[in-house]
């Protein structure tokens, strides 16, 4: 399969045109099988740098590398037919200069087939967003709680309460004017999300930012309940797969220890069934 996105897939302009319309449905994915499951239901599939915490057990997203994003991006690409695929630019791959950002974003697009990249930051990143978008790289911005700045914030705290809301409004206006085609608003109060959504012409995609946004995104493993020890307020769990997997694995362990698995139907005989007049060998 070619690395480029299928021509039938949604494009960044399609997503931008959904401003104020039916809310955009977005989830993360990091692997081919999960990409295949989410694709028919989603408008956007994000290969988020949350992959570092979710799949690799890292304490934050800070040590996620460009090579990791490329490897997971390639895996997700193989599972998508319709959704717009966006890949996160990891910490350290874009902040130094617009030229560094272009070089690494171009690598992400060429090697994964994604149609756009996402990067964190507001006013301070507007110049870089303008540099990328004017050179053929569609950019989704990410403001509010930007997890790559966790050390600056002193934790994964709600951003933009009270006076601090003005800074985030300025961020939103700056990235929209710079040419971003959409923006993730993470962990901000509902009133602020509503104001920004009304003030800018591009879709806002909320995570912990209320239904006032133009779309929603969640980490797929969070909404599927893969973790028993991680329950943020903004995540609605649509399944308890972690618990279901634990029950299934306990059953397997019991069966193996008690020699109930493998049973007769899982075992190969000496003479293939087809030769012996049976159906499958
Ligand atoms: O890395 C990620 O998964 C994200 C989303 C949660 C927005 O940035």
Fill in the DSSP letter of residue 90.
Answer: P
Ligand 1 atom, smallest distance to 184 CA = 7
Read off the pLDDT of residues 58-84 as tens digits, 9 standing for 90 and up: 999 999 999 999 999 999 999 999 999
Detail the DSSP E strand segments found in 157-220: 182-186, 204-207, 215-218
Residue written as token pair 């039916």: 22
Spacing, Cα 49 to ligand 1 middle (Å): 6
Q: Cβ(140) to ligand 1 under 6 A? A: no
Q: Cβ(188) to ligand 1 under 6 A? A: no
Q: Whose CA is nearest to atom 4 of ligand 1?
A: 48
Spacing, Cα 183 to ligand 1 middle (Å): 12
Read off the pLDDT of residues 97-121 as tens digits, 9 standing for 90 and up: 999 999 999 999 999 999 999 999 9
Q: Is 177 a catalytic residue?
A: no
Residue 229 has pLDDT above 80, yes or no: yes
Q: 182 pairs with which residues across the strands?
A: 140
Spacing, Cα 208 to ligand 1 middle (Å): 11
Residue 3 has pLDDT above 80, yes or no: no
Read off the pLDDT of residues 247-263 as tens digits, 9 standing for 90 and up: 999 999 999 999 999 99
Q: Which domains does the chain have, with CATH numbers?
A: 3-239 (3.20.20.60), 244-280 (no CATH)
For every residue of 218-275, DSSP letters joined together read: E-HHHHTT--SS---TTPPPS--HHHHHHHHHHHHHHHHHTT-SS-GGG---SS-TTT
| pLDDT value of position 243 | 96
| pLDDT value of position 94 | 98
Spacing, Cα 159 to ligand 1 middle (Å): 16
Q: Whose CA is nearest to atom 3 of ligand 1?
A: 48
The answer to whether the CB of 212 falls within 8 A of the CB of 189 is no
Read off the pLDDT of residues 133-184 as tens digits, 9 standing for 90 and up: 999 999 999 999 999 999 999 999 999 999 999 999 999 999 999 999 999 9
């Amino acid at each position: 399969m070619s690395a480029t996105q299928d021509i039938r897939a949604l494009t960044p302009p399609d997503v931008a045109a959904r401003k104020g319309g039916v809310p955009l449905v977005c989830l993360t994915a990091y692997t081919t099988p999960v990409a295949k499951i989410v694709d028919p239901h989603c408008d956007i599939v994000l290969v988020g740098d949350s992959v570092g915490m979710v799949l690799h057990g890292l304490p934050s997203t800070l040590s996620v590398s460009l090579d990791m994003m490329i490897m997971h991006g390639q895996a997700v690409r193989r599972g998508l037919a319709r959704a717009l695929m966006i890949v996160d630019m990891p910490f350290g791959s874009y902040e130094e200069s617009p030229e560094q950002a272009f070089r690494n974003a171009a690598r992400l697009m060429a090697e994964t087939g994604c149609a756009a990249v996402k990067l964190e930051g507001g006013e301070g990143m507007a110049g870089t967003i303008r540099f990328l978008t004017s050179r053929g790289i569609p950019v989704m911005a990410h403001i509010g709680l930007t997890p790559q700045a966790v050390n600056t914030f002193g934790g994964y705290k709600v951003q933009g309460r009270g006076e601090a809301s003005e800074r985030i409004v300025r961020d939103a206006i700056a990235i929209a004017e710079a040419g971003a085609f959409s923006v993730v608003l993470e962990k901000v109060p509902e009133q602020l999300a509503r104001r920004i959504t009304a003030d800018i012409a591009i879709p806002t995609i909320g995570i912990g930012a209320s239904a006032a946004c133009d779309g929603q995104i969640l980490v797929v493993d969070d909404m599927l309940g893969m973790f028993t020890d991680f329950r943020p307020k903004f995540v609605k769990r649509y399944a308890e797969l972690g618990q279901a997997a634990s029950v299934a694995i306990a059953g397997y362990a019991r069966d193996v220890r008690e020699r109930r698995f493998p049973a007769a139907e899982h075992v190969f005989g000496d003479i293939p069934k087809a030769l012996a007049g049976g159906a499958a060998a």
